[in-house]
């Protein structure tokens, strides 16, 4: 008997950002971008754009509001997989307090990864991801990594903050000119912090 294909629907919300993990390899739909993240420097997440979606790999996804269907033969043998700072889960997961866990949420119309508080147990849906990050010695643990903009801004660095950030992520080139698209291999100033796009 032939094995059944797994089917997963990715819903990109109005805010244009979500997370995804698939139990099989898949091509990215048109106008959808996926990013992995393995490092934080000065409370800025460095995102690396993926060419396609690899099985059991968690991603941050950016695109226009829509539903996208994926199907394939599942290759997962665990409930969750970690790659860099992202962990993706195939079962709904109640995050634990004080575990340096950040969950993607919309709080007061500001979308970002928010640190899980002591009395909170936010759920991470199946086929979605969360961040685990512990501040380095001498750094304060950031309370959120705000996401800003959408397809036009294409931010590949996301700033963390200890307090409520105001407005969008501001990106400039080294000449001080405001930019809306960042290219791989170049340096930029993102909210006052110098970053390189990898």
CB 143 within 8 A of CB 125: no
| Range among 18-32, 43-57, 131-145, 168-182 with highest mean pLDDT value | 18-32
d(C-alpha 78, C-alpha 120), whole Å: 25
Q: Which of 48, 139, 128 has its CA nearest to residue 90? A: 128
Identify which of 60, 193, 58 has the alpha carbon closest to the alpha carbon of residue 127.
58
Instruction: Please report the pLDDT score of residue 145 as a whole number.
Output: 83
Work out the pLDDT band at 194, boundaries 50, 70, 90: low
- pLDDT confidence of residue 76: 85
The residue among 64, 41, 57 whose CA lies nearest residue 197 is: 41
pLDDT band at 167 (very low <50, low <70, confident <90, very high): very low
- Give the model confidence (pLDDT) of 67-103 as tens digits: 999 999 888 889 999 999 999 999 998 888 767 899 9
Q: What is the mean pLDDT of residues 157-178?
A: 53
> What is the rounded average pLDDT for all residues in the chain?
79
- 136-156 confidence digits (pLDDT tens): 777 777 888 877 543 344 444
Rg (CA), the chain: 17
């Amino acid at each position: 008997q032939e094995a059944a294909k797994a089917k997963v629907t990715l819903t990109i919300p109005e805010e244009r950002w979500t997370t995804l993990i698939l139990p099989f390899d898949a091509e990215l739909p048109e106008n959808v971008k996926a990013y992995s993240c393995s490092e934080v420097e000065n409370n800025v997440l460095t995102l690396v754009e993926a060419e396609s979606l690899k099985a059991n790999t968690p991603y941050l996804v950016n695109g226009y509001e829509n539903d996208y269907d994926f199907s394939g033969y599942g290759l997962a043998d665990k409930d969750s997989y970690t790659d860099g700072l992202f962990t993706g889960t195939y079962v709904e997961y109640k995050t634990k307090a004080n575990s340096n866990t950040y969950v993607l949420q919309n709080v007061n119309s500001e979308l970002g990864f928010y640190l899980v508080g002591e009395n909170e147990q936010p759920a991470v849906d199946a086929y979605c991801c969360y961040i685990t990050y512990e501040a380095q010695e001498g750094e304060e643990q950031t309370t959120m990594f705000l996401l800003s903009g959408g397809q036009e801004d294409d931010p590949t660095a996301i700033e963390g903050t200890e307090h409520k950030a105001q407005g969008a992520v501001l990106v400039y080139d080294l000449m001080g000119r405001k930019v809306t698209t960042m290219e791989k291999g170049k340096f930029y100033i993102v909210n006052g912090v110098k970053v390189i796009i990898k």
